[in-house]
Amino acid sequence: MEGRRTKRFAKSPCIRVIAGGRAGRLCSSTALLLPLKGVAGVELRQLRYFVTLAEELHFGRAAAREHIVQSALSQQVQRLERELGVRLLERSTHHVELTEAGTAFLVEARQILAQVDRAAEVARSAAKPPLTLRVGMVDAGCSSMPQILRKVQAQYPDLVIHQVEAGVPEQLQQLIDGRLDVGIGRAAFAPPEVASELFRRDPLGVLIPSGHRFTAMAGVPVTTLAAEPLLLPADAQAPEFNQFVVELCRSAGFTPTVYEGTVESIRAAAELVSQGRCLYCVPSSCAAALPGTVWRPLVEPVAHYPWSILWRPDDERDHIRAVVTGARALSRQLGWLATTPLVDRDS
């Protein structure tokens, strides 16, 4: 007899359940609690009804929770007991309580339902492609976009963000081609296919070598740049920024002496500045912790560099709009568009 029982358990270690019209098998230690004969008709809804009834110990309240009539709930629980071959509940007119078998079965039933929920979530996650965001950034050292992305990531924890360092002309082209979802930069040259929203007027300043005479100044008058070689980014990479700086100098009455050579990043510019070869104009949000240099704001006139969020106007996806609304919210919160009386050279 013992040998036959062992063989029978080895062949059938799982409970067979039916969900959505399809039969499946869920392995569980519940199999050891139940007669293996006659459990093929156990349904997930019966397990759920039983768990709800076990929690409420009241047919009316349990039926209300499950949004079914009381008689239907009672029938399903009775069918479950018949399938299992054990009595799970003791019932009277005014009282419901679990039997010893019902108490043991409740633990396992909850585990089965939780496992089914997890399996469903895994299946849905596997079928759904990951949510991605491709972001253009002018320079990895600039702080505006990372601040915005932290806000968006908090709203969409599973969002996969790809950051692409590119100049504004390249960002605009990649937005049009669909290779980027959002970008950041001055919107002066944005084509009709790209929408933009100004969110920050960033004080423009100048990077100077440590020990330079300008370090003693609280603000550097724009006219003093006339006597200094001024480094500019490669024009193909940042024509909108170069235009902004040159126009600022001309408004102060001079054309800048441009340093022979170009750079593709603010960190590379800081290296040349620290060697005393040139000065470099840069917005305040891009000037943090550059070794061997000091940043001072430009004055007389003071200017603010205009940063805009860039995106495709026909892209209505929620996480794309979240970047725009996030930039707008941070702008209000941090006062990025509020300025004292200044000369704003906007796009």
Q: Record the tokens describing residue 248, joined without a space.
A: 């600022």
pLDDT for residue 342: 40
- Report d(CA 114, CA 116) in Å as an integer: 5
- The domains found in the chain, sorted by start residue, are 2-127 (1.10.10.10), 133-344 (3.40.190.290)
pLDDT for residue 40: 66
Please check the confidence at residue 202 and state whether its pLDDT lies above 60. yes
Regarding beta strands 303-311 and 195-209, do their DSSP bridges make them parallel or antiparallel, or are they unpaired? antiparallel
Please check the confidence at residue 88 and state whether its pLDDT lies above 90. yes
What is the maximal distance between C-alpha atoms in the chain? Answer: 107
Phi-psi region for residue 79, left (φ > 0), alpha (ψ -120 to 50) or beta? alpha
Window from 170-174, 237-241, 299-303, 342-346 with minimum mean pLDDT: 342-346
Q: Record the tokens describing residue 220, joined without a space.
A: 């550097």
Higher pLDDT, 262 or 7: 262
pLDDT for residue 263: 82
pLDDT for residue 212: 94
| 243 touches 233 (CB < 8 A) | no
Backbone torsions φ then ψ of 161, nearest 5 degrees:
-105, 125
- Report d(CA 89, CA 62) in Å as an integer: 14
Please check the confidence at residue 29 and state whether its pLDDT lies above 60. no
Portion of the chain with pLDDT greater than 90, in percent? 73
pLDDT for residue 3: 44
Using one digit for the tens of pLDDT, what is the confidence trace for 96-144? Answer: 999 999 999 999 999 999 999 999 988 887 787 889 999 999 988 899 9
Q: What is the mean pLDDT of residues 62-77?
A: 93
pLDDT for residue 219: 96
Q: What is the mean pLDDT of residues 261-280?
A: 90
Please check the confidence at residue 313 and state whether its pLDDT lies above 50. yes
3-state SS record for 289-334: CCCCEEEEEEECCCEEEEEEEEECCCCCCHHHHHHHHHHHHHHHHH
Measured over the CA atoms of residue 209, residue 211, residue 214 and residue 216, the dihedral's sign is positive
Reported as a pLDDT band with limits 50, 70 and 90, residue 32 is very low
Question: CB-hemisphere CA count at 13 Å for 97?
Answer: 5
Using one digit for the tens of pLDDT, what is the confidence trace for 177-192? Answer: 999 999 999 999 999 9
Show the DSSP H helices in 85-167 as ranges. Answer: 100-127, 144-155
**Beta-bridge partners for 89:** 98
pTM: 0.65
- Report d(CA 187, CA 327) in Å as an integer: 15
Contacts of the segment 70-75: beta carbons below 8 A, 24+ positions apart: 73/49
